[in-house]
Amino acid sequence: MPIVAVSFLKTIANSCVCREHTIRKLMLDKSTNISAMVQFGCGLCAPSQWQNFDASVALRLQKLPVIGALAPVGQFGRFPANVEYGDIVKGLPIVDRSVRLLYCSHVLEHLTLTELRQALHHCYQYLQPGGIFRFVLPDLEFMAQQYINSTDPDAALKFMRVTLMGVEQRERNLRGFLTEWLRGSEHLWMWDYQSLARELENVGFQDIRRAQFGDSDSSEFAELEDPQRWKNELGIECKKGLLPS
């Protein structure tokens, strides 16, 4: 029965989110000149100058009328009030060619290969010509080199832990199910620069380059970047061309 209750809550959350998406989309469609700064997978980092989206189950529950205040808070706490529910794979409730700056931090590694390709396609659609997409995620090449060069007998264990590609233990009960459902922290597909740059090229992105913490010409990204989330990680910045690719 508890599983049924969870399923019921999820159904309600989906219904509320769909209604919110519809209203948001109708409002945005009335505007023909939007220059937005959008962040997806924002977590608790939600600067007021940015439009912030997250696809967390905990956020969906917190958005429910009345019982939202009693909903689980997720791994790091309650989401700021200005965070909207939005799934980059299914599509965000924003207008195509309306975004000037687009950002995500440690999001893409939580997507399957197919989901990542769908997400990149949406990112490209949302950007204005000349718009910038900047992101950071774990660097598979760096972690693999650390593993290969290590003489530590526990190198394999450390590699599996740092990549979050293994499951060390799990509770086989309702609590364990709910914890996994709310957390969603597993890494589903890891990337190095060359492989991800190829995916970006295939979508149509141009001027693809490795990015370092704080090195963007667009100072607005500084509101989002955390040096600890960029250390030894893979940062990339790219643009949508001014002319159709």
Query: What CATH number is given to the structural domain containing 38?
Result: 3.40.50.150
pTM here is 0.82
Higher pLDDT, 133 or 8: 133
The predicted-structure confidence for 68-81, as pLDDT tens digits, reads as follows 666 666 566 789 99
Task: Find residue 132's DSSP bridge partners.
Answer: 101, 239
Q: Kindly compute the dihedral angle of the four CA atoms of residues 87, 244, 212, 82, in this order, to the nearest 10 degrees.
A: -30
Does residue 245 lie within any of the structural domains? no
Q: What is the CA radius of gyration of the chain?
A: 19
Closest C-alpha to 119, from 188, 192, 63: 188
> Do the bridges between strand 234-239 and strand 127-137 make them parallel or antiparallel, or are there none, so unpaired?
antiparallel
Does residue 59 lie within any of the structural domains? yes
Domain that holds residue 34: 2-138+190-239
Predicted local confidence at residue 7, as pLDDT? 53
Kindly tell me if the per-residue pLDDT of 27 is higher than 70.
no
Give me the number of domains the chain comprises.
1
| Least confidently predicted of 93-102, 161-170, 192-201, 229-238 | 161-170
Does residue 147 lie within any of the structural domains? no
